Amino acid sequence: MTSKQKAQNKIEIIAFIKSKGFTEDRWGNYKKSSPEKTYRFKINPNALRYEAKYSDSWIRICSGYWKDLSIENDKIKGLKY
């Protein structure tokens, strides 16, 4: 995957995350809260992480490198648990 393809893939995945109701916080991550839990997608230069907040800590649920991620069947494919 070229750097241009990787950048386009990242833009598409972030647009998908926004469409699911996640909002950007001041650090550039995307959060969504429910009465029970808060979830976020942590955006890193090379990877995407999906995390949940427990007490004062964030716990990784799954993650994946941008080059391995794609959107299929209304889900992000390539995230590893």
Mean pLDDT by 10 residues, the chain (81 residues): 84 97 97 95 96 95 95 96 92
Following DSSP, what letter does each residue of 26-50 receive, concatenated? TTS-EEEE-SS-EEEEEE-SSEEEE
For 2, counting Cβ atoms within 10 Å of its Cβ (0-12 exposed, 13-18 middle, 19+ buried), the class is exposed
Q: What's the pLDDT score for residue 7?
A: 85
Q: What is the pTM of this model?
A: 0.91
In the chain, what are the domain boundaries?
A: 3-77
Phi and psi torsions of 60, nearest 5°: -70, 130
Question: Token pair of 35, please?
Answer: 């009465």
